[in-house]
Amino acid sequence: MAAKMKLGLYFRNDDVRVEECPVLEIGPAEVLVRVVTCGVCGSDTMQWYREPEIRRKGGINTGHEIAGDIVQVGHSVHNFQVGDRVVVAHHFPCGQCALCKEGNETACEYMREKHIEPGGFAEYIMVRETGIQKGILRLPDSMSYAEGSLIEPLGCVIRSVRKASPIRSHSVLVIGSGLAGLLHIKLARALGASKIYAVDTNASRLEAASRSGADEVILATCTEGELPKVDRVFVCAASPKAAECAMECVNRGGHLMFFAADGPDHKLALTLTKFWLMQPVIGFTYGASPDDMREAMELIRSGTVPVDDLITHTFALEQIAEAFDLAANPRGNSLKVLIAPNGGNAQARGSGNGSVPGKAPVVTMEKRTAANGWIRSPQDSLRRILGQAIQKLMGQTSIVS
């Protein structure tokens, strides 16, 4: 293996550099992964969000939608082997604290810890000892690396949609038809929403929204009265205007979910009496837990939420500045932008016979086990495993229940 590798370093959206550093040497309990694909996330280009860390560290490498191959395994790591195709999460919750136990895992303080070095925009990443147990998922042979890079984004969307459940037979409005909005539309469709509206200011993204399952698309500037009133509103556009509009769109007793944040200084006014009478649930969602990611993997693997059509661009690491520019300033048909740091085939699948594309599962994400929408207790996991076994016998697979 080469002693040196290339990595991308982010300073600003218009200043992303390619530099060289030594390939990290792993310790006995660590793993080295050759990155095949890493998605550029909306949060990677949120300059206001990244600036404090940049000031502290100089350039940063925020790549976290990582799929690749394990190329070195420390001698005390027994659950992974060289050659394993994997998806790597850079962070995850502790699983032990009160927030984790009540199903609010991504609010866990431990989510701030990073378990990989230097980040997915590099030829190789090291997974630290603390990341081995919870931070690595095996990628099914039937899935491509590119699909693997969509697992984390879909995991975040699964959490968002679950918090606003049930979706079945409810009307849905998705504000913003970038990648996150399109994944919300696809998932709401799979969950049986009665009618899905998509709003964006970009006509080509609305075409993608229609293809993803929206019943009605609205080219909007978010002026008064433009948007429908619905049972479930998802804000997937990082704009103060979108947030304000969303407040007007939720039906009595509905859910309003903020998936996107629009900068540190914006305050949102709330008409207290109106909302007191209407009683919508207003929620916020951030990140994905390991369980969310496993569910995302299953939804992609089974074809329930296809994501291939959302990946429009794959860049070499040397072109990372161009990739960030396109992600931050979408043009043409651009949706999801990937980096392929080793120039490998993003579409390659595994050669084993372990997994075959399955029949579309029955999606039953709507069960709520607690007031906050969703708790996964050990009993739930057991129920889920039993449910899967029974439904497999009956020729169906239920992946979320």
* Site of interaction with Zn ion (CB under 5 A): 41, 93-94, 97, 100, 108
Beta strands in 301-384 (DSSP E): 311-316, 336-340
Q: Tell me whether residue 108 or residue 365 sits nearer to Zn ion (CB atom).
A: 108
Q: Tell me whether residue 155 or residue 350 sits nearer to Zn ion (CB atom).
A: 155
The order of strands in the sheet holding 230-235 is: 216-219, 195-200, 171-175, 230-235, 250-258, 281-284
CB of 151 to Zn ion, least distance (A): 10
CB of 170 to Zn ion, least distance (A): 26
- 46 — phi, psi (to 5°)? -85, 90
Task: Give the count of alpha carbons within 13 A of 199, CB side only.
Answer: 25
Q: Tell me whether residue 146 or residue 222 sits nearer to Zn ion (CB atom).
A: 146
Q: Tell me whether residue 108 or residue 256 sits nearer to Zn ion (CB atom).
A: 108
CB of 65 to Zn ion, least distance (A): 5
- For residues 290 and 134, is the Cβ–Cβ distance under 8 A? yes
CB of 23 to Zn ion, least distance (A): 25
Q: Tell me whether residue 43 or residue 388 sits nearer to Zn ion (CB atom).
A: 43
CB of 95 to Zn ion, least distance (A): 6
- 346 — phi, psi (to 5°)? -65, -25
Q: Tell me whether residue 63 or residue 166 sits nearer to Zn ion (CB atom).
A: 63
CB of 107 to Zn ion, least distance (A): 8
| Torsion sign across C-alpha atoms 379, 380, 383, 384 | negative
CB of 113 to Zn ion, least distance (A): 11
Query: In the chain, helix, strand, coil percent, each to 5?
Result: 30, 25, 45
Q: Tell me whether residue 11 or residue 286 sits nearer to Zn ion (CB atom).
A: 286
CA–CA–CA angle 56, 57, 60 (5° rounding):
125
For the chain, counts of helices (H) and of strands (E): 12, 16
Contacts of 113 (CB under 8 A, 6+ apart): 91, 130
